[in-house]
Structure 1
Amino acid sequence: MTRAHPSPAPSIRAPLWLLVLVTLSGTMAMHIFMPALPLAGADLGASPAGMQQTITLYVVGLAFGQLIYGPVSDTIGRRPTLLLGLGIYLVASVFALFAPTLEWLLAARLAQALGGAAGITLGRSIVRDISTPERVTKDLALLNLLTLVGPGLSPILGSYLADGFGWRAIYVFLVCMATAMVLCAWRLLPETNLDRSPLAFGKIARDYGQLVGNRRFLGFMVGGACSSTALYPYLATAPYIVHGQLQLPISQIGWFAAITIVGASVGSATTRRLVGRLNTELFLYMGAGLSLAMALVFLGVQAMGWLNVPVLIAITFLLTTGCGMASPAGLSRALSSAPGLTGSAAGLYGFGQMAAGALGTKLVGYGSDPAISCAVVQIFLTVVALGAFRIAVGARGGDGGEPQGRDAP
């Protein structure tokens, strides 16, 4: 499924601010709505478990969408594919705005995620299309840095919108943003894929089948997916822990969600800084191990009735720091375990991340105590991650992975 990257045409330009906007829009709709779960649940007559499914289905939509848009854009072009996805995102946001029932909202959220996945997939693809080989890594790093602000600020914005104007104000904002994105993409975004190819479903299926049969890749993918999404159960339960248990106002929920972005950023920065000095696989165990330790502390603190605001902040920060440490190392190991299939491996890895996140947000809905449920699911995810990493590391040399010796970053 991978092809030689063609030289970008110097005359093709795409506004970086627009690529940032479409890229962050995919996850923004998930994070911005999270603080409003209790308010929307009360308005729609839905239980906390039912409202948590609005997060689960959104993650599911992002998972499947990322598998679709890449191959489609390789065939019909980036511009029409992105416009199609943004159009779906806009229409679904309108339906969510006027949702009269939970079922209506769930369907709208799933469609919104399927549309939003186009921005995540194609924003990065367009950067690869228009950047020279010497600049593509720097440009992608800048894009990732800028889009990291979105998930961090979205819950804060959502908290204030929901607290001041009601939960539907969030969808008024998303409809306005989606409308602006569609118009700007239509007017300003050129076609950047100059090397389109036929859509070969058979080859795509064979590539994915080869990856699933690669024990080393599969271990790193499952481990990386579970360790990097151990924060998702917290995102789904934070409104009920912060507002319901700790009795803080709705407007404060977003700040607790933003802690996850800070922790993950610190963890990722730590890995990037030290990866050349230490074995890459060490970060897998350190990151997942730190997250597991914090999940166990979370469970113990809640069981003893000791949970308070400073303790919750400390646990969340350290747990997500572990997520941030393991995530880039897991992705690096997974991609290097599948030479010649980097594009397919990246798509399948992204699908695995979203699938693990969906599983986590689904499982937390089964418990009566949100904090206990969150801690138990986080323990489950991090134990699976450590086991998968162990299997992957033990599968050296058997699946076409990278040479043995010191791991490359």
Structure 2
Amino acid sequence: MNEDGKDRAARSSLEALPQSVVGAAPFADRVRAPLWLLVLVTLSGTMAMHIFVPALPVAGSALHASPASMQQTITLYVVGLAVGQLIYGPISDAWGRRPALLMGLGLYLGAGLLALFAPSLEWLLAARLLQALGGAAGITLGRAIVRDTSTPARMTKDLALLNLLTLVGPGLSPIIGSYLAEHFGWRAIYVFLVCMGCAMVICSYKLLPETSKQRSPLAVAGIASDYRRLLGNPVFVGFMLGGSCSTTALYPYLATVPYIVHEQLGYPISQVGWFAAVTIVGASVGTLITRRLTGSVKPEIFLYAGAALSCSMAVLLLLVYQWGALNATALVLISFTMTMGAGLASPAALSRSLSSAPGLVGSAAGFYGFGQMAMGAIGTKLVGYGDDPTVACAVTQIAITALALASYRFAQRRSPV
């Protein structure tokens, strides 16, 4: 059966079900949101993190902050993304996707202005946290809108395409960040982000339709009940935890790459962005493979192969470094292959987790994003305890990717499909 036939079959079968079971608007009533706009708002949240990574040593010198203190600008940003996604999911289920997104983008823009004029590390940390809380709206609601507007037969492919396209921006952002920091100073990065925030607010206000046809009351008790239901769903928990670990396995590397490349390998700070961008390119390649093979390969193949590949590359990084053979070529190849594994597994994990929670798509998308950022925060925090950046990075990645494998196995054994 071709793809159109699958869509018609899925439409016929789901239209026969009650709306509460389907958990989304009927196919005939679904509206379309511009994919490029979903890409823009989704990448905005993580771009503000990736673009600042190469500037950590430069900004640290300007603000008289230690490397460990500057790494907290990444950790706090990840924490903000995690907490924010817990908030926007239920809000969007109650108010609609459009108003929740506009509220988040406005906060993102305002926090970018605060960071631009930050006179101290403490000011910058507070601004980064607020910016992350705003950027979380784009990550959560971009996925929820795709789920609102895609048929079941196309959901994994659409999510994979969104994931692929949103990785292109963060893949280029470390390069942009390196250039801006070296030639114009680290504050130029926030000029760029403020301009981007303005563009998102204007385009979303003018072009984004409301895609959610269902509403649920916004009450603390109801939100807590929804999250209890999600936590009580072992299939969702397994795929969510596994996907969170797979996606954020690159975060320990991004937090340590300025010090590995600049201090341990001796390359200039302007080269850091290229080493960071390699990871995003690897994840993009993995996501593209998943998108092309979806429908002909079972989802669990992507899950297990991707997590196993990432784990084996983390082990290889540790071994190569201990042998004294780590150089630029080895670092690029290992990090590229490791994050390609993340790209293979992440779209399938996201699709399976959202599909396992009908009627709670917004909350499930928010919880999934919370899991991703929570694991990223844990990873970036753990690498700060190590005296050797490469060893700390590799050991942390081994633990995270091994947990991903175990989580996929847990969810698969309990999945009815």
TM-score, normalised by the number of residues in structure 2: 0.85
User: Would the aligned equivalents of 1:6 and 1:195 in 2 still touch at CA under 8 Å?
Assistant: no
Aligned residue in 1 for 2:10 = none
Query: Once superposed, what is the RMSD of the aligned Cα atoms?
Result: 2.8
Structure 1 position 295 matched with structure 2 position 309? no
Relative to structure 1, the CA distance from residue 315 to residue 236 in structure 2 (aligned partners, 3 Å threshold; closer, same or farther) is same
Q: Taking structure 1 as reference, are residues 272 and 84 closer, same or farther at Cα in structure 2, changes over 3 Å only? A: closer
Question: Given the alignment, which residue of 92, 96, 103 partners 2:111?
Answer: 92
Which of 256, 261, 264 pairs up with 1:242? Answer: 261
Which 10-residue stretch deviates more, 33-42 or 185-194? Answer: 185-194
Which of residues 375, 379, 396 in structure 1 aligns to 2:398?
Answer: 379
Deviation per CA, 1:339-384: give whole Å up to 9, x if none: 5544433332221111111110111111121111101111111222
- Map 1:264-275; keep pairs closer than 5 Å: 264-274=283-293
Matched, 1:334 2:353: yes
Secondary structure of 2:325's match? coil
Give secondary structure in 2 for the equivalent of 1:306. Answer: coil
Could you tell me whether the CA contact under 8 Å between 2:147 and 2:361 is conserved in 1? no
Percent of residue pairs bearing the same amino acid type: 69
Which moved further from structure 2: 371-380 or 59-68?
59-68
- TM-score, normalised to structure 1, is 0.87
Q: Spell out the pairing of 1:153-192 with structure 2 (5 A cutoff).
A: 153-189=172-208, 191=210
- 2:51 maps to 1:37: no
What residue identity is the alignment partner of 2:52? F
Deviation at 1:330, TM superposition (A): 2.6
The structure 1 residue matched to 2:333, chosen from 295, 311, 314, is 314
Given that 2:102 and 2:204 are in contact with CA atoms closer than 8 Å, whether structure 1 keeps it comes out as yes
- Equivalent-residue separation in structure 1 for 2:375 and 2:302 (angstroms): 20
Decide whether aligned partners of structure 1 residues 23 and 383 sit closer, same or farther in structure 2, where only a CA change above 3 A counts. Answer: closer
Alpha-carbon distance, 1:123 to partner: 3.5
Letter in 2 for 1:356: M
Q: 2:302 corresponds to which residue?
A: 283
Distance 1:391 1:187, change over 3 A: closer
CA contact (8 A) 2:163 2:347 kept: no
- Alignment partner, residue 220 of structure 1: 239
Tell me how far apart the structure 1 counterparts of residues 91 and 170 of structure 2 sit (CA, whole Å): 27
CA contact (8 A) 1:233 1:374 kept: yes
Aligned equivalents of 2:160 and 2:294: distance in 1? Answer: 17
Q: Kindly provide the amino acid, as one letter, of the partner of residue 372 in structure 1.
A: V
Matches within 5 A, 1:86-235: 86-126=105-145, 131=149, 133=151, 137=155, 143-189=162-208, 191=210, 193=212, 195-235=214-254
Gaps of 5+ in 2: 1-19
Three-state SS of the structure 2 residue aligned to 1:90 is: helix
Name the CA distance, whole Å, in 2 between partners of 1:189 and 1:331.
Answer: 23
- The amino acid of 1:270's aligned partner reads I
Partners of 2:144 and 2:362 within 8 A in 1: no
- Deviation string, structure 1 residues 10-31 (Cα, Å, up to 9, x no partner): 9x77655444322221111011
C-alpha change, 1:70 and 1:391, in structure 2 (3 Å) is: closer
Asked if the contact 2:24/2:214 (under 8 Å) is kept, the reply is no
| Number of aligned positions between the proteins | 396
- Structure 1 CA distance for aligned equivalents of residues 331 and 103 of structure 2: 41
Query: Quick check: 357-366 or 206-215, which moved more?
Result: 206-215
Shift of 1:43: 1.3
Which of 303-312 and 341-350 deviates more? Answer: 341-350
Q: For the Cα contact (< 8 Å) 1:82–1:122, is it kept in 2?
A: yes
CA contact (8 A) 1:128 1:136 kept: no
In structure 1, distance between residues paired with 2:315 and 2:28: 50
Q: 1:211 to 1:76 in 2, by over 3 A?
A: closer
Task: Using the TM superposition, give the Cα deviation of residue 295 of structure 1 relative to its aligned residue in structure 2, in angstroms.
Answer: 1.0
In structure 2, relative to structure 1, the CA distance for the partners of 1:135 and 1:162 (3 Å cut) is farther
